[in-house]
Amino acid sequence: MPTTAKTNAGNFFEDFTVGQVIEHATPRTVTEGDRALYGALYPTRFALPSSAEFAASVGLRGAPVEELIAFHVGFGKTVPDVSLNAVANLGYAECRFREPVVAGDTLSTTSEVIGLKENSNGRTGVVYVRSTAKNQRDEVAVEWCRWVMVHKRDSSAPAPEPVVPDLAKVVAVDDLVVPEGLDFTSYDFTAAGEPHRFDDYAVGEKIDHVDGVTLSDAEHMMATRLWQNTAKVHFNTQARPDGNRLIYGGHIISMARALSFNGLANAQLIAAINAGAHTAPAFAGDTVYAWSEVLDKAETSAPGVGALRLRLVATRGRDESMTLRGEDGKYAEGVLLDLDYWAFVPR
């Protein structure tokens, strides 16, 4: 009898072709349980996803959950098909949050292969995909590109014609999607927790978010399972020589975003992720801190709504000097995440 033929071995580099569309299993309904678990796993306090009343007060229908819930759910779906045999998650680009997700929405995710480039070693290659998570009304909740280094099944397989997509370095301000109805003209700064508005932030300004959280295995495993992310290294001490469970990079993104409340409490909504790099692995016992840098500012056409382009950096241990790179141009020791994103803030 065949014994493992029915299990998913994941795709290898030579299984991908440019233009290929993958419909990922399995659709997933987001619930108030997800919101509560998100709040238990990350120290988030942003008023908009925390309070249905606050969300209504800024013109939103329903009570959207954190944007990153949509991102993690969508991302998790792509893992069995795209990155089960990945060596590394290399980068993100052109990620836009469009229709807010409320409890009861069911997300389904598809990916299109938009680039392929075999590495010179002949054993791995880079796969570029554009993924889209839609709700049950076929509206796009979130879309993003990422590229991953994937093993070849057979190093002697011929290399495909290299196709490297031309991805935007930054999502253009005009491409940001303001949720329907969003209006910050009567924004309650007291309820939100900080007085700082659009005009109070200057390009180049850095903010040390001060607080730190020590990571635990139970928590990162629960988070990663919640998004139905199946990458073995996050759950299985036998999957790595060192016996450690590697923490899902998205766990660090959410932890850093939550820590950034302290100083960026009014960066209520993530509008886009321009770029992101997981620069070092994180493990249970590490204490994560975060700092931010204001990279750009822009107005939007929505009433009272401005956009800040922010660099969010997570570090192992606090770095009050907020150093991104050393003199050698490499990421400084302890930097775990370098995330470039747009957020909507009150003007």
Pair 340, 311: CB distance under 8 Å: yes
Rounded Cα distance between 8 and 81, Å, is 9
Q: Considering only residues 189-228, where is the footprint of a copy of itself by CB under 8 A?
A: 190-194, 196, 200, 202, 204-214, 216-219, 221-223, 225-226, 228
Q: Is the Cβ of residue 117 or residue 151 nearer to a copy of itself in the bound state? A: 151
Q: Is the Cβ of residue 161 or residue 218 nearer to a copy of itself in the bound state? A: 218
Report in angstroms how near the CB of residue 291 gets to a copy of itself at its nearest: 8
Q: Is the Cβ of residue 16 or residue 42 nearer to a copy of itself in the bound state? A: 42
Pair 235, 217: CB distance under 8 Å: no
Among the listed residues 122, 91, 266, the one whose alpha carbon sits nearest the alpha carbon of residue 193: 266
Q: What is the DSSP letter of 230?
A: -
Q: Considering only residues 291-310, where is the footprint of a copy of itself by CB under 8 A?
A: none
Q: For residue 188, how many other CB atoms are within 10 A of its CB?
A: 15
Q: Is the peptide bond before 26 cis (omega within 30 degrees of 0)?
A: yes
Q: Of 20, 119, 132, 262, which lies in the binding site for a copy of itself, with binding defined by CB under 8 A?
A: 262
236 belongs to the binding site for a copy of itself (CB under 8 A): yes
21 belongs to the binding site for a copy of itself (CB under 8 A): no
Q: Of 88, 104, 155, 181, which lies in the binding site for a copy of itself, with binding defined by CB under 8 A?
A: 104
Rounded Cα distance between 8 and 5, Å, is 8
Pair 201, 294: CB distance under 8 Å: yes
186 belongs to the binding site for a copy of itself (CB under 8 A): no
137 belongs to the binding site for a copy of itself (CB under 8 A): no
Q: Which residues contact 329 (CB under 8 A, 6 or more apart)?
A: none
Report in angstroms how near the CB of residue 85 gets to a copy of itself at its nearest: 13
Q: What is the CA radius of gyration of the chain?
A: 20
Contact range with a copy of itself by CB under 8 A, out of 92-100, 237-245, 300-308, 332-340: 237-245
Q: Considering only residues 311-340, where is the footprint of a copy of itself by CB under 8 A?
A: 317-318, 322
Pairing of strands 86-97, 206-208: unpaired
29 belongs to the binding site for a copy of itself (CB under 8 A): yes
